[in-house]
Structure formats: structure tokens, C-alpha cells
């Protein structure tokens, strides 16, 4: 099996989790200084983040990486995976997820529908 997009390593995934905890945690409360800092670093990112409560991943021992990450909290869960059919400018899952979390990549309505987990 050949994948077009490279998965995310466990070390990279730990960094994603730290970023989620700092900027997108569920019911995040930030001081004025923290908001100013995050807005200076990531001007397109919302003040309170994405309210992510749960992060689920799927590890593939063949490739020794995580090929799928799902964020859930407020609204529909969103799944990012290496098997996407979307035409994206990213070579790795880590690049794609990081761009999304920093609001550097904002999905269109159509793209958002493909990311939503159908419950």
C-alpha cells in the first residue's frame, strides 16, 4: 500500500496535543495577555480556539506513524487522515493538521463536509 500523504510520528503527535491543550482546549479561558500573545503568533486563529475536548488517533504499525486524527468537542467531530480525497497543498498529515489548528488553512464548506465524521 502506498499513501500519497505521509502520516504523523508519535513525537509530532505529542506536539499537536500540546498545541491543542494550549490554544484549543475545551472551555478554554485565557487572560488578556494570553489572548494577545496567541493573536500575535496566529492572527487568523479565534480568541477561544476550537473547543476540542477529545483527540483520537489511529496508529499504523506498518508505516510506524499515525494516519488518522479526529478532533471532537463542540459541533461535529472532524477527521484528518492520509487517505483524504481532498486536493491539498500538504505533503504530511502534521503539516495539514498544524495549518488547520493555526487557522492558516481554512476548509471550504465542501471540504468541511468531507472532514465531518458521520455519526
Supply the pTM of this predicted model: 0.89
Q: What is residue 57's three-state secondary structure?
A: strand
Would you list the domain boundaries of the chain?
10-115
Residue 71's CB is within 10 A of a number of other CB atoms, namely 24
Least confident of 34-48, 53-67, 79-93: 34-48
Separation of alpha carbons 94 and 19, rounded Å = 12
Percent of the chain having pLDDT more than 90? 66
Amino acid at each position: 500500500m502506498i499513501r500519497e500523504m505521509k502520516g504523523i510520528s508519535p513525537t509530532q503527535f505529542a506536539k499537536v496535543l500540546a498545541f491543542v491543550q494550549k490554544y484549543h482546549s475545551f472551555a478554554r479561558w485565557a487572560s488578556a495577555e494570553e489572548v494577545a500573545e496567541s493573536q500575535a503568533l496566529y492572527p487568523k486563529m479565534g480568541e477561544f480556539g476550537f473547543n476540542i475536548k477529545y483527540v483520537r488517533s489511529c496508529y499504523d504499525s506498518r508505516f510506524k506513524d499515525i494516519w488518522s486524527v479526529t478532533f471532537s468537542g463542540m459541533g461535529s467531530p472532524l477527521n484528518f487522515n492520509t487517505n483524504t480525497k481532498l486536493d491539498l497543498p500538504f505533503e504530511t498529515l502534521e503539516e495539514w493538521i498544524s495549518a488547520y489548528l493555526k487557522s492558516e488553512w481554512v476548509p471550504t464548506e465542501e471540504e468541511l463536509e468531507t472532514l465531518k465524521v458521520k455519526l
